[in-house]
């Protein structure tokens, strides 16, 4: 499993506290929501605001999910993007875009589960979703992320070899890319 320490991930929401561990289904990590030992057990999160492509930098849930993804919290990023997907509408262009991010983070979860078939399936599906969304808009970026970079990232994730074990629950970036929205909200 490649560990990408050469690229530093800058936090988009530095005030938000990242979880104590990342959940990896089928391992010793407690389920974050259902298990009393879970990092989000009994935490009542406010429903997120729907993601607006023109004002993505104002959406804390979206920025937090990017932070989680870029720091190796793939299960948690998946969950946060899924919450946004529900309130933004699954059949909207935003919903389709979020589905691609959900699939990409699911590929990260599959890396941690040592399911190479799952990694390839989810990464390929993410790339297809990003291509579909790009075909529906004339923009090169959507919610701050460039379509070309997203499709490259999905393609790269599907082709990598993952074979270095990582401690259960330790958040580790497994992909050699970051999701870096531009322009950055803090730039």
- Please report the pLDDT score of residue 4 as a whole number: 42
- Please report the pLDDT score of residue 5 as a whole number: 43
Token pair for residue 137? 């808009």
User: Each residue of 95-137: pLDDT tens digit?
Assistant: 999 999 999 999 999 999 889 999 999 999 999 999 999 999 9
Q: What is the DSSP string of 117-130?
A: HHHHHHHHHHHHHH
Residue 2, helix vs strand vs coil:
coil
Per-residue pLDDT at 41 exceeds 60:
yes
CATH 3.90.1580.10 fits 56-159, yes or no: no
- pTM of the shown model: 0.90
Q: How far apart are CA 89 and CA 98, in angstroms?
A: 10
Per-residue pLDDT at 20 exceeds 80:
yes
The band of 169, judged by pLDDT with boundaries at 50, 70 and 90, is: confident
Task: Please provide the average confidence, as pLDDT, over all residues in the chain.
Answer: 88
Find how far residue 123's CA is from the centre of its chain: 12
Residue 5, class by beta-carbon neighbours within 10 Å (0-12 exposed, 13-18 middle, 19+ buried)?
exposed
């Amino acid at each position: 499993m490649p560990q990408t320490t050469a690229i530093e991930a800058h936090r988009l929401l530095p005030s938000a506290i990242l979880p104590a561990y990342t959940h990896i289904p089928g391992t010793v990590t407690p389920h974050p929501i259902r298990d009393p030992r879970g990092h989000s057990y009994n935490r009542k999160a406010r429903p997120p605001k729907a993601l607006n492509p023109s004002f993505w930098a104002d959406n804390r849930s979206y920025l937090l999910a990017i932070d989680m993804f870029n720091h190796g919290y793939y299960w948690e990023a998946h969950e946060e993007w899924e919450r946004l997907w529900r309130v933004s509408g699954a059949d909207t262009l935003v919903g389709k875009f979020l589905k691609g991010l959900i699939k990409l983070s699911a590929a990260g979860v599959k890396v941690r589960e040592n399911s190479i078939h799952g990694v390839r399936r989810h990464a390929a599906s993410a790339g297809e979703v990003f291509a579909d969304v790009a075909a529906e808009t004339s923009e090169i970026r959507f919610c701050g992320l460039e379509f070309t970079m997203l499709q490259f990232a999905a393609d790269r994730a599907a082709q990598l070899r993952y074979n270095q074990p990582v401690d259960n629950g330790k958040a580790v970036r497994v992909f050699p890319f970051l999701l870096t929205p531009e322009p950055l909200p803090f730039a």
